Amino acid sequence: MSSVPVFSVVVPFYNEAENLPRLIREVDGMLRVLDKTGEIILVNDGSTDTFAQPPASPAFAIRWLQLSQNSGQSAAMYYGMQAAQGEFVILMDADLQNDPMDAPKLWRKLRDEGLDLVTGVRVKRNDVFIRRLSSSIANAVRGALLQDHTSDTGCTLKVLRREAAKRLPGWNGMHRFIPALVLSAGYKIGEMPVEHRARHAGVSKVAGGKRAVRATIDLLGMLWLSRRQFKGRLLEEKR
């Protein structure tokens, strides 16, 4: 394997012991389809369950990052992206609600259309009604206020160029606004339908009621940040 991988798959997890073996198997299969070098970055967000760390497969390095305490999905994704070495970062959940096999088509769209981020759209969403309803309200409000017309910002499955991923700021709730943050930093974004499956094992780790309130407060911060973020990007150094 060359020292700098082409793909970094970043997966936040909190108490997902039952899901990790299958996740790693499926991500491994997906990276084989992409047929380039890759690393799998598993970010342990202060899990309290016990899980075995399988050895890296010969083809792909597995990196285990550990947060000092449970800090939330945004923090785990943020640290994972900061650690990513690949030219392209693939984000997905650990519970297998995302199908890793969708990632190659997101990446091909990003490459062929010269985009910086492609996010999945969960067309047939496998979540309870109230979750789907609150997401559709949140997506509509966000679209109106932030000029980000991504249909499903909450779908973790995304592919980003490393540069766009590294520009994402770290704050709780950030992961719900990744397309808006990337767009308002001057990058090009797109979206594509993906599968959404039932959780493979375990229960949702995200508190229901508080989420809507927090997301609304975060919107106010996003209104400010999306206008005040640097729009320019650092171009390649001329030698």
Binding residues for ligand UDP, rule: CB under 6 A, are 12-14, 16, 45, 70, 72-73, 76, 93-95, 97, 204-206
29: enclosing H helix or E strand: helix 20-34
The minimum distance between CB 209 and ligand UDP, in angstroms, equals: 13
Cα 126 to the center of its chain, rounded Å: 18
Q: Compute the least distance from the CB of residue 7 to Mg ion, in Å.
A: 22
**Partner from ligand UDP, Mg ion, none contacting 76, C-beta within 5 to 8 A by type:** ligand UDP
From 36-44, 72-80, 90-98, 132-140, span contacting Mg ion (CB under 5 A): 90-98
**Binding partner selected for residue 45 from ligand UDP, Mg ion, none, CB under the kind-specific 5 to 8 Å limit:** ligand UDP
Q: Smallest gap, in angstroms, from Cβ of residue 197 to Mg ion?
A: 9
Closer by beta carbon to Mg ion, 39 or else 93: 93
- What does DSSP assign to residue 197? -
Structural tokens at position 160: 């980003």
DSSP for 87-108 reads: SEEEE--SSS-S-GGGHHHHHH
Nearer to Mg ion, 23 or 115 (CB): 23
Give yes or no for a contact between 37 and 85, defined as CB atoms under 8 angstroms apart.
Answer: no
3-state helix, strand, coil in the chain (%, to 5): 40, 15, 45
Minimum CB distance to ligand UDP smaller for 6 or for 101: 101
